[in-house]
Amino acid sequence: LWPFGFNRRELGFISWVGLRGAVPIVLALFPIIAGLPEAQLIFHVAFFIVLVSLVVQGTTMAPLARKLRLEVPAGEDPYRRLPLDVPAAGDHELMLFPLRGGAWESPRPLGQLRLPDNTAIAGVFRKRTCYQPSPDMEVASGDVLAMFATPAMLPELGKALSGRHAPKYLAERAFFGDFVLNGDALLGDVEQVYGIEFDQLPPELSLAECFARRTKGHPVVGDKVVLGPVTLVARATEADRVTKVGLKMDNQ
């Protein structure tokens, strides 16, 4: 993986996790199929090693990712998205959001939810029953909200319906910075707006192109590019291109 743009922390994590699971067990079946002596012993040893590997490495994945600073804020994507193939609906989709987390332990009326514009609640599912939504209807953990919304509203909608409390170091402002920029913004424009100088890069270079150079064309959310006094953090990607960028000053 070294030539493909992974840094040392990412290589270390991948090396520790490795590729464990069904493949070694399947390979251990070949001696049994071939009728080789001690084939059963080979299979039992391989199966035992796979189990130990899964337990040991599986339980250490999250702490190791945290230690190597590879953890990123969890997304609040819906459980399921169904496009509406109707011209009048435009880009709207039917999205299912399960309510979970500490914020939903106490029931809350639907009328108190701060939902973004151009969205609507289609129904509330509770214990395999669909209820018609009303402003005074209370929802809580375990309920599922069916929403009509466009993909552009997903980040804002996820925040409104999220009940999770991320640790401070994974809070959006702490992780991505205070400023959100489009990936097609040019370095020259960023210099003028924020009073920053990027002497080592041409002003006509876009932020997305900065990430493309750093990641060799395959950026993911959480990738960082340090440019002098600021750090650019990939906030959203689409088709191997950064579409939203967080900007962190060096004092953050």
The CATH code of the domain that includes 84 is 3.30.70.1450
Regarding whether 178 and 235 lie in a shared domain, the answer is yes
Are 242 and 224 contacting, i.e. CB atoms less than 8 angstroms apart? no
- Total domains, the chain: 3
Q: Indicate whether 89 belongs to any domain.
A: yes
Residue-wise pLDDT for 36-45, tens only, equals 999 999 999 9
Residues listed for the chain: 252
Residues 152 and 179 both lie in one domain = no
Tell me whether residue 72 is in a domain.
Answer: no
Q: How far apart are CA 229 and CA 242, in angstroms?
A: 21
Q: Are residues 30 and 63 in the same domain?
A: yes
Rounded to two decimals, what is the model's pTM? 0.62
Mean pLDDT within 92-117:
89
Residue 19 placed within a domain: yes
Q: pLDDT (tens digit, 9 = 90+) per residue, 123-144? A: 999 999 999 999 999 999 999 9
Range of the structural domain that residue 240 is part of: 168-249
pLDDT of residue 215: 72
Q: In what order do the strands lie in the sheet with 120-126?
A: 80-83, 93-98, 144-149, 120-126, 129-131
CA-based diameter of the chain, in Å?
A: 74
